Structure 1
Amino acid sequence: MKRLSLVLPALLLASVSHAATVAQVKAKGVLVLGTDPTFAPFEFKGPDGQIQGFDIDIARAVAKDLGVKLEIRPVGFGALMPQSVTSGRVDMAMSGITITPERAKVVAFSGPYYRSAQVFIVRGGNPGKFTWPSDVKGKTLGVQANTTGQYTANGMLKPKGAVLKVYDDFAAGLADVRAGRITALIGDAPTVADLGKRLPGQFAQAGQPLAAEDYGMVFAKGSDLAAAANRTLARLKASGEYQKLLNTWIVQK
């Protein structure tokens, strides 16, 4: 996402990292996944209350290849990265987590499993005719707290005269977009496609993407689970299963 938690707490916690290993996971028979289930279509609660999504299906494939069950543990994003991983509360984390050099000092990432982009979400039809990069001066733009969108906006949009409004809750930002209280909200490109399916005509993407980013699966430093996840990812891509998952969850039909 989106998601970029503060670096300093991560560095402080690095010294107490508990690296779960493949052998330990196989011995207990369970791979514990930490995720913040508020980021459709990657992880969210379905009508039956069960957590589902693109990330969840990839994590299930990792668990299957290890010969264990997947246990899904909901964790708020502020506690998910990196605390839940470095403390050993979870064996892995997935929640649209962007790979960054700062985070890679604290946790281990799999290879990238999805290329995303930060985009501007506006009201359907873009009644304000907002565009990027030509039209940000004096505009009020929403960002979600502690996300890559916020940090990118601070570096690229504030210097151009944009006014940033920070939200703890992404849904609150969407509500302000819909009500016309802000010009646009910065979010991930797949989110726009998902909104188009769930709330047709209410939201749209405006202008060019703000920045590209890669998502990765997250593990404790030194864990061989990262290599196991990479093997699963390679298998999914070679077999065509990865594309099927993309078609199921992300590709707009």
Structure 2
Amino acid sequence: MKKLVASLLLSVCAFASIAQAGVIDDAVKRGTLRVGMDPTYMPFEMTNKRGEIIGFEVDLLKAMTKAMGVKLELVSTSYDGIIPALLTDKFDMIGSGMTLTQERNLRINFSEPFIVVGQTLLIRKELADKVKSYKDLNSADYRITSKIGTTGEMVAKKLIAQAKYSGFDNEQEALMDVVNGKADAFIYDAPYNVVAVNKAGAGKLVFLDQPFTFEPLAFGLKKGDYDSLNWINNWLHQIREDGTYDRIHAKWFKSTNWLKDME
């Protein structure tokens, strides 16, 4: 009987040890952290003219993996399928400008936010006198666009529900629909729109720069991985205090030098 009890205790301890292992521990053992990302979101993650994935979030992840002592492996994934890909172990975590929403939080866990953004609008220049906020677009007379699976799409369907909506696979396609006069407004995160109005707007767009939503962006992990969340959150606190975060943030948000590297 004693042998049976001892055997059961060993089994329980072994199971507990396995259960406590998380993706950060796995990455350290493997030597690589695999991060799922859709590299189309300026200036967070995007592909430069040499085919390299660069951006604010990419640099954060590079600093994270440096602190872990491992290599960073970016796994390009379409945004509308990125959570299912995480849940089926295609990569270790999501680092793709993802807004922490309650709906998503029912499916995955999130780290503490690394930045807070909000939805803004790029509208056709001809509408500048008529459209002053998202409320003015809430009519069947208007057509709006955004990227499929994003909070831009969610907000469009919730707050501007009476307008005609078209979703696109990427930001550029949705934005060009407005530039080409086929749609009236593009709804998306402020950091993207502040760059896109000049880079892709071709002088045909007006940027309504007042955010009308509150959107914390965070890293996404599978549910139950509290050890990894603990490590990431402590790391986020560290880089905010030691100047690393400010240095990376300034590179992408206080300078436009990186635009020279884009097509």
TM-score bin, normalised by smaller chain: 0.7 to 0.9
Inter-partner Cα distance in structure 2 for 1:95 and 1:189: 15
Name the structure 1 match of 2:191: 190
The answer on whether the counterparts of 1:63 and 1:70 sit within 8 Å (CA) in structure 2 is: yes
Query: How far did residue 233 of structure 1 move?
Result: 1.2
Name the structure 2 match of 1:226: 229
Q: Secondary structure at the match of 1:209?
A: coil
Say if 1:84 and 1:165 are closer, same or farther in 2 by CA, change over 3 A. closer
- Letter in structure 2 aligned against 1:186: I
The answer on whether the counterparts of 2:146 and 2:153 sit within 8 Å (CA) in structure 1 is: yes
Q: Secondary structure at the match of 1:115?
A: strand
Query: How far did residue 202 of structure 1 move?
Result: 4.7
Aligned length: 230
- Answering whether residue 89 of structure 2 is matched by residue 88 of structure 1, we say yes
Name the structure 2 match of 1:128: 127
Query: How far did residue 252 of structure 1 move?
Result: 5.6
Q: Deviations over 1:63-121 (max 9, x none)?
A: 111111111111111221x1222222211111110101222222111101111111111
Name the structure 2 match of 1:8: none
Inter-partner Cα distance in structure 2 for 1:45 and 1:66: 25
Name the structure 1 match of 2:243: 240
Inter-partner Cα distance in structure 2 for 1:250 and 1:107: 29
- Letter in structure 2 aligned against 1:153: A
Q: Secondary structure at the match of 1:232?
A: helix
The answer on whether the counterparts of 1:131 and 1:208 sit within 8 Å (CA) in structure 2 is: no
Q: Report 1 or 2 for greater relative contact order, CA contacts < 8 Å, sequence distance ≥ 6.
A: 1
Question: What aligned pairs does 1:176-187 form with structure 2 within 5 A after superposition?
Answer: 176-187=177-188
Greater helix content: 2
Inter-partner Cα distance in structure 2 for 1:241 and 1:196: 29
Inter-partner Cα distance in structure 1 for 2:250 and 2:209: 25
Q: Secondary structure at the match of 1:96?
A: coil
The answer on whether the counterparts of 1:20 and 1:220 sit within 8 Å (CA) in structure 2 is: no
Query: How far did residue 168 of structure 1 move?
Result: 2.7
Inter-partner Cα distance in structure 2 for 1:173 and 1:55: 22
250, 253, 257: which one aligns with 1:250: 253
Q: Secondary structure at the match of 1:73?
A: strand
Query: How far did residue 231 of structure 1 move?
Result: 1.7
Inter-partner Cα distance in structure 2 for 1:207 and 1:232: 31
Greater strand content: 1
The answer on whether the counterparts of 2:113 and 2:217 sit within 8 Å (CA) in structure 1 is: yes
Query: How far did residue 222 of structure 1 move?
Result: 1.9
Percent identical among aligned pairs is: 27
> Could you say what the CA RMSD is over the residues aligned between the two structures, in angstroms?
2.0
Say if 1:133 and 1:44 are closer, same or farther in 2 by CA, change over 3 A. closer
Q: Provide TM-score, normalisation by structure 2.
A: 0.80
Q: Unpaired runs of 5+ in structure 1?
A: 1-18
Q: Secondary structure at the match of 1:106?
A: coil
Query: How far did residue 166 of structure 1 move?
Result: 2.5
Q: Deviations over 1:214-234 (max 9, x none)?
A: 111011112222221112211
The answer on whether the counterparts of 1:120 and 1:187 sit within 8 Å (CA) in structure 2 is: yes
Who wins on radius of gyration, i.e. which is larger? 2
Name the structure 1 match of 2:7: none
Name the structure 1 match of 2:57: 55
